[in-house]
Amino acid sequence: MTLIPVSVNSLPDLRDPPDRRVLVVAADPLTRAGLVALLNTQRGIMVVGQTALDGIGAALIAYLPQVLVWDAGARIADTADALIALDEPPPALILVAEAEDAAAIWLAGARGIMLHSARIAEIVAGLTALSAGLTVLAPGVSDPLIAPRDRLALASGSGAQAGNRLTARETEVLHALTEGLPNKAIAQHLGISDSTVKFHINAIMGKLGAQSRTEAVVRATRLGLIVL
């Protein structure tokens, strides 16, 4: 056997990756405490803070989390409004009580939705996937949000079927996106609020299966919804 000397600097880095910085969000303080306690037992997770809905903006600045664990509780509308109001938030894994509660959350821009019944290992796996830029939807949640026929319509490039899913206002916003207008300019042009513009953009992205404004325009063009 031949022994080959190896420099220490050439060895692979076998250290564990840094812990993911997690912010816990929930209206109920007991729920926040429970989530913090559970997450603190998990390897690779570092809970950097917790907050109620009205403190999310300040908490994002103070704690600089990489991902959120957000319990919607029974306040689905409040959660959707709070999510829409955030400007470029980190990805959020939102926990809902029932699958039918997910629709409003999805349209508000959530890309991670799981049920309260999820095990802690599933939540951690969801956080990992979100951190990697993936969308996370629990099996009981995904089917009501993305019906099989909608998947088929988008995959086959059926512009007529996909177009019928966009409202008149969403179509106006979509055309504004093709011009590269920022949210404030779109809001002024259409006479609506910045938050409403963000809501419509998130709805468009969700319906077209896009992860960004640019991808939404590209997909809409391919489907024949807009002409550049």
* pLDDT of amino acid 97: 87
* pLDDT of amino acid 26: 94
The distance between the two most distant Cα atoms of the chain, rounded to a whole number of Å, is: 78
- What is the distance between the alpha carbons of residues 119 and 130, in angstroms, rounded to a whole number? 17
Residue ranges covered by each domain of the chain: 20-145, 148-222
- What is the distance between the alpha carbons of residues 50 and 39, in angstroms, rounded to a whole number? 12
Domains 20-145 and 148-222 share a fold: no
Query: Which residues fall within 8 angstroms of residue 177, CB to CB, at 6 or more apart?
Result: 186, 201, 204, 213, 216, 217
**Regarding beta strands 112-115 and 67-73, do their DSSP bridges make them parallel or antiparallel, or are they unpaired?**
unpaired
End-to-end Cα spacing for the chain: 66
Mean pLDDT throughout 29-41?
Answer: 94
* 87 DSSP 8-state letter: S
Using pLDDT thresholds of 50, 70 and 90, give the confidence band for residue 11.
very low
Beta strands in the chain (DSSP E): 20-26, 45-51, 67-73, 92-96, 112-115, 136-137
Long-range contacts of 52-55 (CB under 8 A, 24+ apart): 52/25, 52/26, 52/27, 53/25, 53/27, 53/78, 53/79, 53/82
Encoded tokens for 82: 């709070």
* CATH architecture entry for 20-145: 3-Layer(aba) Sandwich (3.40)
More confident residue, 223 or 227: 223
Question: Which fold does the domain 148-222 belong to in CATH?
Answer: Arc Repressor Mutant, subunit A (1.10.10)
* pLDDT of amino acid 204: 86
* pLDDT of amino acid 137: 84
* pLDDT of amino acid 19: 85
Encoded tokens for 187: 């809001």
Angle, helices 168-178/183-190, rounded to nearest 10 degrees: 130
- What is the distance between the alpha carbons of residues 100 and 107, in angstroms, rounded to a whole number? 13
Q: 123-143: per-residue pLDDT in tens? A: 999 998 888 888 888 877 766
Distances (CA, A) of 138 to 127, 142, 147, 208: 13, 6, 14, 20
Q: What is the mean pLDDT of the chain?
A: 79
* pLDDT of amino acid 144: 57
Using pLDDT thresholds of 50, 70 and 90, give the confidence band for residue 183.
confident
Q: Are 157 and 222 in contact (CB under 8 A)?
A: yes
More confident residue, 149 or 205: 205
* pLDDT of amino acid 79: 87
